[in-house]
């Protein structure tokens, strides 16, 4: 009896590491010390040694049941982007620059090519976020996960000078809310998504073309989560002070918008200020999902919201566009009970 007979293939693990090396190396920043394979990832503090009062920020998240679609479609090179996005967007929400990232993959059976495909997506997400992939872990757990399934989670560490922290403390009535378009459903609400499309949750069903989507259902749902790090850096570089920021993830508008507000300030968002993507309209109709539930579950086409002074709106919009994003003025702040009104 040996480890391989017990279901864990050490040689497959070695091969997976070799296959992923080029992807990991493509994310390297000058501060990265050493290479892949060490017991820990090393990152020089020179990236922030000149800050007045550097504050470390961290974020961790997973991809959730969106992975079920990757399993069905046997497509594994995009979910890593989702994993990175869910973490680095949260770090960027506080004004931070994501410095480095680590991933964790747990699987029933380690297939080197599949693991390398997953890590290629993680590396792509890190490149988009200008963050280094400094390490990770692949755990082969036979008997715990089915042989053809896995879970994926990640951890981001970033930094910000304390004076540049985005806290919402300076918010006032009259400030303007700008939302950046999402790429679709992103990585939240997929338990409801899968319930709505229960009959379509097969490889054939996901590869079916839908006229109203302009593509297949699978491609639409598997579209990677937008990474907004560069856009927020661009706004800062334009000299704009972002007063508050909200990443629209699980809980949609109703849970996430209030998190950016201080007491005595209420957000008012106009639902007609931007075009809701077809996938959300289709889900609401097909699943007979009430509008409030949709806005309380999904991003509805807006992945990140910032609050700025009215005088900074044009500069903010221009900076976001320059970074490749599509911004909309979606509302404003007013005095009132902390919370959000959608009208």
For residue 48, the model assigns a pLDDT of 87
Q: Percentages helix, strand, coil for the chain, rounded to the nearest 5?
A: 40, 25, 35
Q: Strand 265-269 and strand 209-210: pairing?
A: unpaired
For residue 327, the model assigns a pLDDT of 98
Asked whether the beta carbons of 90 and 59 are under 8 A apart, the reply is yes
Asked whether the beta carbons of 338 and 261 are under 8 A apart, the reply is yes
Domain 10-164 CATH (choose: 2.40.50.100, 3.40.50.720, 3.30.1330.10, 3.40.50.880) = 3.30.1330.10
For residue 159, the model assigns a pLDDT of 97
176-342, what's its fold? Phosphoribosyl-aminoimidazole Synthetase; Chain A, domain 2 (3.90.650)
Query: How far is Cα 313 from Cα 42, in angstroms, rounded to an integer?
Result: 40
Q: Give the ranges where 60-210 is alpha helix by DSSP (H).
A: 67-73, 79-93, 112-129, 190-196, 203-206
pTM for the model stands at 0.94
Strand partners, 304: 180, 247
Residue 304 is encoded by which pair of tokens? 């990140």
Query: How far is Cα 65 from Cα 263, in angstroms, rounded to an integer?
Result: 34
Question: Where are the chain's structural domains?
Answer: 10-164, 176-342
Binned average pLDDT, 10 residues per bin, the chain of 343 residues: 60 70 80 78 85 96 97 97 98 97 95 94 97 93 94 97 96 98 97 96 96 96 98 97 97 97 97 97 97 97 98 98 98 97 96
């Amino acid at each position: 009896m040996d480890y391989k007979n017990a279901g864990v293939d050490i040689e497959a693990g070695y091969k997976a590491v070799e296959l992923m090396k080029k992807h990991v190396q493509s994310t390297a920043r000058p501060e990265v010390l050493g290479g892949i394979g060490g017991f820990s990832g090393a990152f020089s503090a020179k990236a922030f040694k000149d800050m007045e009062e550097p504050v470390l920020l961290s974020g961790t998240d997973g991809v959730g049941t969106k992975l079920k679609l990757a399993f069905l479609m046997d497509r594994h090179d995009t979910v890593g982007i989702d994993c990175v996005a869910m973490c680095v967007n949260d770090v960027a929400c506080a004004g931070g620059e994501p410095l480095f990232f680590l991933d964790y993959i747990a699987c029933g059976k380690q297939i080197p090519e599949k693991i390398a495909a997953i890590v290629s997506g993680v590396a792509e997400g890190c490149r988009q976020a200008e963050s280094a992939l400094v390490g990770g872990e692949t755990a082969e757990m036979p008997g715990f996960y089915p042989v053809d399934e896995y879970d994926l989670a990640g951890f981001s560490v970033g930094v910000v000078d304390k004076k540049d922290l985005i806290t919402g403390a300076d918010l006032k009535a009259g400030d303007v809310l700008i939302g950046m378009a999402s790429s679709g459903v992103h990585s939240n609400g997929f338990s409801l998504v899968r319930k709505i499309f229960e009959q379509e949750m097969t490889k054939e069903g996901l590869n079916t073309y839908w006229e109203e989507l302009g593509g297949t259902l699978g491609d639409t749902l598997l579209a990677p989560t937008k990474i907004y790090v560069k856009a927020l850096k661009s706004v800062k570089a334009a000299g704009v002070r972002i007063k508050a920021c909200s990443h629209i993830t699980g809980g949609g508008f109703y849970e996430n918008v209030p998190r950016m507000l201080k007491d005595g300030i209420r957000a008012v968002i106009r639902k007609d200020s931007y075009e809701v993507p077809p996938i959300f309209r289709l889900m609401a109709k097909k699943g007979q999902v009430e509008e409030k539930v949709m806005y309380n579950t999904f991003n509805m086409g807006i992945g990140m919201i910032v609050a700025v002074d009215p005088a900074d709106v044009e500069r903010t919009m221009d900076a976001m566009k320059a970074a490749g994003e599509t911004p909309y003025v979606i509302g404003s702040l007013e005095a009132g009970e902390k919370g959000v009104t959608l009208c």
